[in-house]
Amino acid sequence: MFFEWVRTILILPGSVLVFFPALALYLADYRWEFSSIPLFTAGCVLLCVGLSLAAWTMWLFAKKGRGTAAPWTPPKYLVVEGPYRHVRNPMITSVLTLLIAEALLLNSWLPMGIFALFLGGNMLYFPFVEEKSLENRFGPDYLAYKREVPRWLPRIKPFEPASRGASGTDSPD
């Protein structure tokens, strides 16, 4: 499973957070210049938040879901714990947060262009592909979860699944 996660990270967030920004910056003949202490500090804080959220959500998928975020090794169990009790796509939130951090740390708007493309692509992919797959795999548990937990903007009060199966706690520990 470790190597599946390495492959998943290199291909999925790695391309959005490293490869495409590096290519865009290279093609734009980018030269880094320090912007300001407040913007740099905000970038560092967002970097820590984004990395922490990414690590937490990936750990939950591996431990509770018994899979990865990649479509080729999806979780076997529905994960509705931690940040998944507040928003359905916290992994996407972590990548978007990291793109904002990159823009601030690099003092460049190019990562924000990638942010817009990534967000737009996911706004199409999730409702038309990902959610249909989850409905087929997890049935009523996912439908109940989908009704209660927003796709993008977190709910304040955590979702309480009606059944243990929807919580991910039925997965082997």
Answer whether residue 110 is part of any domain: yes
Answer whether residue 4 is part of any domain: no
Supply the mean pLDDT for the chain.
Answer: 91
**What is the C-alpha separation between 35 and 33, in angstroms, rounded?**
6
Answer whether residue 150 is part of any domain: yes
pLDDT score for 69: 86
The closest of 42, 18, 33, 50 to 104, measured between CA atoms, is 42
- Contact yes or no for 131/144 (Cβ under 8 A): no
Answer whether residue 147 is part of any domain: yes
**pLDDT of 12-62, one tens digit each?**
899 999 999 999 999 999 999 998 999 999 999 999 999 999 999 999 999
Q: Which domain holds residue 78?
A: 37-155
Interval 100-113 mean pLDDT: 96
pTM of the model: 0.89
Tally the domains of the chain. 1
**Count of beta carbons in the 10 Å neighbourhood of residue 19:** 12
Answer whether residue 9 is part of any domain: no
Answer whether residue 68 is part of any domain: yes
Answer whether residue 81 is part of any domain: yes
The closest of 20, 22, 21, 16 to 118, measured between CA atoms, is 16
Answer whether residue 100 is part of any domain: yes
**pLDDT of 53-68, one tens digit each?**
999 999 999 999 999 8
